[in-house]
Structure 1
Amino acid sequence: MKTTLSTTAKVTRQNLIDSFWLLYCKKSIEKIAVKEICDVAGYNRSTFYVYFKDAYEILAEIEEQTITVEDFKNIVIKNLFYGNLSHDHRKEAILKLILEFFEKNKTYLPVLLGENGDPHFRQKVLKKLTPTVLSIYKKLSPQELMEVSYLMEYQSAAMLSMIAKWYANDKDLPTEQFLELLLAVTTNGVQSELSKYRG
């Protein structure tokens, strides 16, 4: 909303967001009715419509807040696309930055990337990241930039899926082991890493 809200209105609005999120963690947005959100929050539907048009507007706001966090861009650009760090230094940076970012956003991000999340959310993330990442490759030809965009799509999608699965599995691998695996796949490729497990 563009108007300035009173303290009470801000609390009411946040309660509606929190109530929506409790439901969204359990089921997809198509199955969430405004009445359910209001029942959880303890308000009537007329109160809901003062602040939001529908449940999709709440989800869009949460997604927008999550994918504009600068930390995420820094992690991807500095550590996964730049190749100028040594393996040990890059591993240390990823261990710190990825853990910090996902822990900071653990309320929303794992769910948004999970099975109940918006299937277009990852594309929204990539759309935010693409201009910044491509700016690294200013000297490339249009054809080369196109190829880089495909590589970025592949790598980013794989990384997000892998992290989302780890959170969905309640971090079944120790943090350091998981992040070492993530770094290995990012650096060496999937086939190279899978070959280690073949007899």
Structure 2
Amino acid sequence: MSKISRKEETRKNLLDAFWSLYVEKPLEKITVKEITDLAGYNRGTFYTYFSDVYEVLEIQKAAVMPTEDMILDPLKEIRENGGKVEESLNGVSDYINEHGDRIAILLGPEGDPRFPHEMKARVRQIIMNFVHELGIREEIEYEYIIEYHISGMINMYQLWVENGQNLTEHELSALYERVAHIGTLNITNSMLNDRDNP
């Protein structure tokens, strides 16, 4: 194993040890000693890679942020396919499969309360940069639409996790697409009028 590879492995082991503890308890209760004991290193090794546990959390959050391609591919597909999104949803599905468990913890009641805002801000900024480059006329209004859209996605995902994933991933994606295309008011009206006892 090369020197660089050993360093990368040590760093990963420390990150994994931190995450194992973070799943169980709040950040404020996690100590460097607990991390290093769990990972099998001394405290000095931790400080070779990180300044404190807060930096480790920031690294963990950065690792699960969606990529620019994942954010922009659906918008590009909408423009090219007359409002339809199909292929780029596979990227979203892959992203959830890879990072879903960690995102669920970060978004959950014991997670980092700043994470939803940070995720929304990142997604919004990438989209608005793209929109600005396109030169659309209603750029100010579009930012509000994007905020509504992103908040809805995050909140649906949070509820899905809280409800024990009582829909399949495909059903959740299909429901989200339905809401995005038809609109909440139309769906709500349809559901309220579709009753067993009229």
Which residue number in structure 1 is paired with residue 170 of structure 2?
A: 176
For residues 121-160 of structure 1, the C-alpha deviation after alignment (integer angstroms, 9 at most, x for no partner) is 233223333343223254345xx32221122112101102
Counterparts of 1:21 and 1:75, CA distance in 2: 30
Which residue number in structure 2 is paired with residue 110 of structure 1?
A: 104
Q: How does 1:20-169 map to 2 (within 5 A)?
A: 20-67=18-65, 69-74=67-72, 76-78=74-76, 82=78, 85=81, 89-90=84-85, 92-93=86-87, 95-134=89-128, 135-136=130-131, 138-140=134-136, 144-169=138-163
Q: Give aligned-pair identity as a percent.
A: 30
Cα offset, 1:50, TM superposition: 1.7
Q: CA RMSD in A?
A: 2.8
Counterparts of 1:122 and 1:36, CA distance in 2: 27
1:35 alignment partner AA: K
Q: Residue 68 and residue 190 in structure 1: after superposition, are their counterparts in 2 closer, same or farther (change >3 A)?
A: closer
Unaligned runs of 5+ in 2: none
Counterparts of 1:84 and 1:8, CA distance in 2: 46
Indicate conservation of the 8 Å contact 1:13/1:51, yes or no: yes
Which structure has the bigger radius of gyration?
Answer: 2
Question: Greater CA deviation, 40-49 or 164-173?
Answer: 164-173
Counterparts of 1:68 and 1:183, CA distance in 2: 19
Indicate conservation of the 8 Å contact 2:68/2:126, yes or no: no
Indicate conservation of the 8 Å contact 2:70/2:88, yes or no: no
2:152 alignment partner AA: A
Counterparts of 1:114 and 1:32, CA distance in 2: 18
Indicate conservation of the 8 Å contact 1:25/1:111, yes or no: yes
Q: Which runs of 4+ in 1 moved over 6 A?
A: none
Give the TM-score normalised by structure 2. 0.79
Q: Residue 172 and residue 86 in structure 1: after superposition, are their counterparts in 2 closer, same or farther (change >3 A)?
A: farther
1:160 alignment partner AA: I
The number of aligned residues is 190
The structure showing larger relative contact order (alpha-carbon pairs under 8 Å, at least 6 residues apart) is 1
